[in-house]
A = this chain, B = another copy of it.
Amino acid sequence: MKHLPFILVFSLLLFLSVIQASSAQSYKWRLAMSWPEGTPMLHNAAARFAGNVEKMSGGRMQIIVDAPGRHKAPLGIFDMVRSGAYEMGHTASYYYKGKDPATTFFTTTPFGMNPTEMNAWYYYGGGLELLNKVYARHNIVAFPAGNTHIQMGGWFRKEINSLEDLKGLKMRIPGHAGEVVGKAGMKPVSIPPGELYTSLERGTIDAVEWVGPANDVKMGFQKIAPYYYTGWHEPGAELHVFINKKEFDALPEDLKAIITIAAKEVSFDMLSESFYRNVIAWKKMREKSDIKIRSFPKDVLDAFRKANKELLIQAAGKSLLAKEVIQSQQIFLNKAKHWSQITDADYLQLR
């Protein structure tokens, strides 16, 4: 029995190695994003999230980011994550209105919260809990994960002096905002990105809403549609990370914390990156082109506001959860408005 100590220590070490190896199990996950490879800010946000998870986990979790060129379903992230075809996605909640009407307003609402208000609502005003109340029904865990900052109202070929000038104008503007302008008399149209410039140049369309100077500058809209209207319809669109709920729930606690905080970091970071890149691109654009900044006249804004209100009431009527989301946002915004006015608005005016 002279080997007994050897065998005992050996067994103990073997046991410890197995324990450590299992606690350090590694994961190779795939993330499907809605954006084509190289899209400023948007692709960066997905790549940054994946990179931070890998660094913080010491390589225990690796996330491969796939663009639509590979997965072929830019607006199908919801289904691919729900089914587990992809463990993760990076997309925007409002693309999935058809799957669940309650998902629409987690991205943005016309005349709604700006990014500061939106973040306060998400992290302290119950927004994150509501988001996951909605998504849990679809086997998805969702996090806010990137904000575009306030988007401008679009490039117009002609100046808009009254609601009358808008009637019948064809504009590329998608989603809920498209429905709003439609109700106000415009014709919202859908055109592939590659054909936008030519359509605008030839007058097939009269106006186009895209993202912001950093993304728009390459498109060249400013050369042919010099009236640039200030924003009302997407006051800070928030993107989201989706995770298959079953997969997420099975992760060890430290990886859950790492993913949660990496998503929040990227939500914050993309807002800063969007603001920074838009500032730089905007300066360049203005130096090279004679861009005319305009705000929509009062009767146009009133018509948009009215149409938006009606559509929100309609949306709230279709689903109890959608109603809960819309009301939660409105209640917080009504409280926040005055504070935003005497701080953010007042400061930018007096500075």
Scan residues 56-111 of chain A and give those whose CB is less than 8 A from a CB of chain B: 56-59, 111
Q: From residue A222, how far is it (CB to closest CB) to chain B in Å?
A: 14
* Interface status of A253 (Cβ within 8 A of chain B): yes
**Chain-B contact segment, one of A174-182, A195-203, A318-326, A331-339:** A331-339
Q: How many copies of this kind of chain does the complex include? A: 2
B58 touches A253 (CB 8 A): yes
Size category of the A interface is 35 or more
* Interface status of A257 (Cβ within 8 A of chain B): yes
Q: From residue A210, how far is it (CB to closest CB) to chain B in Å?
A: 15
Scan residues 257-296 of chain A and give those whose CB is less than 8 A from a CB of chain B: 257-258, 261-262, 264-265, 267-269, 271-273, 275-280, 282-283, 286, 293, 295-296
* Interface status of A231 (Cβ within 8 A of chain B): yes
What 0/1 readout, one digit per residue, does chain A (7-26) give for beta carbons within 8 Å of chain B?
Answer: 10110011011001001100
Contact A342/B230 with A120-B276, A336-B279 known, Cβ cut-off 8 Å: yes
* Interface status of A3 (Cβ within 8 A of chain B): yes
Majority SS of interface residues in chain A?
A: helix
Contact A339/B272 with A261-B52, A261-B265 known, Cβ cut-off 8 Å: no
* Interface status of A1 (Cβ within 8 A of chain B): no
Give the docked Cα–Cα distance between A341 and B231 (Å): 12
Binding site for B on A (CB under 8 A): 3, 6-7, 9-10, 13-14, 16-17, 20, 23-24, 52, 55-59, 111, 114-117, 119-125, 149-150, 152, 230-232, 235, 252-254, 257-258, 261-262, 264-265, 267-269, 271-273, 275-280, 282-283, 286, 293, 295-296, 301, 332, 335-351
